[in-house]
Structures are given as C-alpha cells and as structure tokens.
A and B are shown apart, each in its own frame.
Chain A
Amino acid sequence: MKIAITSTGKELTSEMDQYFGRALNFLMVNQDTMDFEVVKNNSVGLLQGAGIQAGKIIVDNKVDVVITGNCGPKAFNVLNTAGIEVITGAKGRIMDVIEDYKKGNLKPSEKPNVKCQLV
C-alpha cells in the first residue's frame, strides 16, 4: 500500500500541509515498511488548476491512498477517476497520522470537503 500525504516538510516528523493542490510536498509512504520518498509538488505555484495537476502527480506515482487536510472538487474528481482513495480532514505530524490510519481511525471521504479554489 502506497500512501501519499501532503506535507510541509520532508520528514516523517514534519507537519502535514492542510492544502492538497498547493501542498509544498507529498510524502509517498510505504505503509508496511514506512520507507518513504519526497515528491516536490510542482503545482504549488501554478496560476490555476493546482489541484488538478497535483492530482495527476499522485496518479502518475501509482498511489493507493491520499491523506490530506482539504481537498476540493476538481482534485477529488481526478483522484476518484483514477480509483484512488481520499482521506480529508487529517492534521498533525505525518508519522502520527499514518499510525492513526493503520489503526483504522481514518475513513475515506465520499466527497470533497471544501469548495474549489477557482483560481
């Protein structure tokens, strides 16, 4: 299982980024080994459509689950179309959030939890 978490930093001890499309980094974590790789979010400075492009990054990295704070309808649509599970409303340190996920405390969202940033 490959989990992508939006992160403000580059370590498992970093704080989560509350944004999806304009997250600074994605931490791609192997749930079983806790090995991870940092993928810089090139969409962060995009004029518009950051959520859509960030969604594409996730799809291209063959991720199974995304954990983030806020996810708008466009990014949600992209992830959903690719069959990726989305968990919204998470916050805190990356490693704590993953622990929480492993315990089954975090449930996938059925719809986006914020209206889209239209710009």
Chain B
Amino acid sequence: MKEITIVSGKGGTGKTSIVASFATVAKKNLLVDADVDAADLHLVMSPTVRYKEDFKGGHKAAINQKICTKCGKCIERCQYNAISADFIVNSLSCEGCGVCVHYCPVQAIDFPQRTCGEWYISDTPVCPMVHARLGIAEENSGLLVSLVRKQARILAEKQNIEIIIVDGPPGIGCPVIAAITGADAVLIVTEPTLSGMHDMDRIIDLTSFLNVPALLCVNKYDLNREISDSIINMAEKNNMQFVGSIPYDRDVTYAMVAGKSLIDFSNGKAALAVREVWNNIESYLQRGD
C-alpha cells in the first residue's frame, strides 16, 4: 500500500480539483480529505456517509461559579490570560494545560474533554473516502488529520486498497506536518507566481525536514512561463521529481460549479494534463517498491 499526500504551501493553487481528478483516474484507491478546517473535496466527490464518529479534542477548563471562592489563584497562574476578572474561562484562549485545575484550592474547576468535530467513512461513485469536519472555532486540527489518516490506513488494509490519496491543508504548520509525516511521497502543487514559489520553498524544506520524498507539479503554468521554468529548474536542482505542468483552463472552475471532478466533466487540455501527471506519479510509486 502506498500513500501520497498532496500539498501546496500556498492555498488556492488547485490542489483539491487535482486530487478529485486523481481519485477518478486511479484504481484500487482511497481518498482522504485532510484539509479538515476548510474541507472542500466532498463538494465534488458526492460522498454517501456510511459511518461517522465524534472527534474528541482537548480538555478545557470550566469554573463552577457555585464552588468558586474567587481567590484569584487561577488567574495568577494562567499564562494565557484565559480567565476573566469575574472568573469566566475564555475557551478560545484556554490552552487546556490544567494548571488552574491543579491549583484551585476548592476544586471548583472542571476539565472536560470536548467534542471538536466529526469524522466519516463514506462511499463515492469512484472510491471510498475518509473525511472530517472540525467544529467552528475549534482546535486540534493536527490531531484530527492524524486520526483520519490512521482510519484510512485501517480501511485500506481491510479492503486491499493499493493507493491512499490525501488532500492536504495549506501552510506548513501543525496540520500539514500531521498530513505529511510518514507518507510514501508528497506531491507539491504550485503555481507560477512569486508567492507560489516562495511558499513552495518552505514546503520543500518541510518535506526534507520530515524526510518524505517530494514530487512537483506546476498548475496554471501558462500564467507566467518564465516563473514556471525557474520552478522546474529549481526542482531539478533539488533532485525532486518533476511530474508535469497543467495549463490554465476554465473547465476547472466549471467542473467545480457542476459538482464534478475535472476528469468526469471535461476532455480539455487541463484534464489531459492531469491524467498525464497521475500516470507519472503512479509509475514513481511503483518504482519505489
């Protein structure tokens, strides 16, 4: 079984549209949406939820006003200014360290574990899908990412799945680290802009820090051919496998509006290029055996 995570550093480079197309072209595959705080893949994959479960996140302090003597020891010790002068915990600031709970002389502070979202196993017309929804203004997206990847692996083993395709979140922080760690390869989807290039640099550093091989693909390459060329040069210098360019094509947006993957919707130039990119990825993963 192989697992490939698709990331970009910068948001909006077209990751999710490309992933949906991969899922349609690939065989014996499973799809994971690991962009849990702005998940979009379900909009084009039409999943039917077969199983769902609550996601339990961190603990947060809650002061019981009936017991509290307002001695102020909790306020003194909290490093996050999360307790107001009238002894209400601001759950957005509370990091769940439990120091106030430990030091409350009258045990007035509860420390419940919170339900921070849900995760799902679904069927789509082309393959199974594991995805999740993080609650509004909730934390621990990194753990939820680890959880959906773990569940995907369990499911893949049961169903003899050969390839797990993971749609990763933007950035390089905790959920991205959780989406990349231990994957067989990472595909970086970038765009030929100075911002895209800058962000790509940082995600390349992250993949080498985490010791995961990275492949590179340039989306909307015809937007600025000069920058596209320097990106491809850079990939070669860094010994990264370049797996292809995808042209700008309005069909990508039209497919999204139609709620379909690009491959199902169009036979245009972008759809053809995405197929080609997937073939290159597949042969890379098979070579790795």
* Cα distance, A116 to B181, chains bound together (Å): 7
Quick check: A8 and B182 within 8 Å, CB to CB? no
Cross-chain contact A119 with B211 (CB below 8 angstroms) = no
Complex CA distance for A37 and B153, rounded to whole angstroms: 25
Q: How far is the CA of A15 from the CA of B153 in the complex (A)?
A: 13
Within 8 A of B (CB), among A58-107: 70
Complex CA distance for A119 and B145, rounded to whole angstroms: 10
Query: Does B289 sit within 8 A of A, measured CB to CB?
Result: no
Residues 144-167 of B contacting A (Cβ, < 8 Å): 145-146, 150, 153-154, 157
B143 lies within 8 A of chain A by Cβ:
yes
- Cβ-neighbour of B211 out of A15, A19, A114, A118 (below 8 A): A114
Residues on A with C-beta less than 8 A from B56 are 45
- A18 an interface residue at 8 Å Cβ cutoff? yes
CB neighbours (8 Å) of B150 from chain A are 19, 22
Hey, which chain A residues are within 8 Å of B210, CB to CB?
115
Task: Closest A residue to B154 by CB, please name it.
Answer: A8
Docked CA distance A48–B97 (Å)? 12
Q: A15-B157, A45-B56, A115-B210 are in contact. Are A22 and B146 (CB under 8 A)?
A: yes
Cβ contact within 8 Å between A117 and B209: no
Q: Quick one: given A47-B57, A47-B140, A47-B143, are A117 and B182 in contact (CB under 8 Å)?
A: yes
Contacts A8-B154, A15-B157, A70-B182 given; indicate if A115 touches B211 (C-beta within 8 A): yes
Count B-side interface residues using an 8 Å CB cutoff.
21
Question: Distance in Å from the Cβ of A39 to the closest Cβ of chain B?
Answer: 19
| Residue B272 interfacial (CB < 8 Å) | no
The docked-state distance in angstroms from the alpha carbon of A117 to that of B57 is 17
- B62 beta carbon closer than 8 Å to chain A: no
Whole-angstrom CA separation of A18 from B58 in the bound complex: 25
Interface of B, helix, strand, loop or mixed by DSSP: helix
Q: Is B177 interfacial (CB 8 A cutoff)? A: yes
B window 56-76: CB within 8 A of A: 56-58
In the complex, B178 has a CB within 8 A of chain A: yes
Residue of B nearest to A114 (CB): B182
Contacts of B181 in A (CB 8 A): 114-118
* Interface membership of B88, Cβ < 8 A: no
In the complex, whether B142 has a CB less than 8 A from a CB of chain A is yes
Within 8 A of B (CB), among A13-51: 15, 18-19, 22, 45, 47-48
B145 — nearest CB in chain A belongs to which residue?
A119
Expressed in whole angstroms, the minimum distance between the Cβ of B162 and any Cβ of chain A is 16
The verdict on A118 contacting B157 (CB below 8 Å), with A47-B57, A47-B140, A47-B143 known, is no
A8 and B156 alpha carbons, distance in the complex (Å): 13
Which of chain B's residues have a CB closer than 8 A to the CB of A45?
Answer: 56
Contacts of A48 in B (CB 8 A): 142-143
Residue B174 lies at the interface, judged by CB distance under 8 Å to chain A:
yes
**Taking A19-B150, A22-B150, A45-B56 as contacts, is the C-beta distance between A119 and B182 under 8 angstroms?**
no
CB-nearest residue of chain B to A70: B182
Residue from A15, A70, A115, A119 with most neighbouring chain B CB atoms (10 Å): A119
Name the one of A47, A70, A114 contacting B58, with C-beta atoms under 8 angstroms: A47
Q: Are A18 and B177 in contact (CB under 8 A)?
A: no
Q: Tell whether, in the assembled complex, residue A119 and residue B146 are in contact, meaning their CB atoms are under 8 Å apart.
A: yes
Question: CB distance A118 to B57 under 8 Å?
Answer: no
B57, B146, B150 pick with most chain A CB within 10 angstroms: B146
Q: Taking each of B57, B143, B153, B175, which has the highest tally of chain A beta carbons within 10 Å of its own beta carbon?
A: B143
Chain B contacts to A: CB under 8 angstroms: 56-58, 140, 142-143, 145-146, 150, 153-154, 157, 174-175, 177-178, 181-182, 209-211
A-B contact pairs, 16 of them (CB 8 A): A8-B157, A22-B146, A48-B143, A114-B182, A115-B210, A116-B181, A117-B177, A117-B178, A118-B142, A118-B178, A118-B181, A119-B142, A119-B174, A119-B175, A119-B177, A119-B178
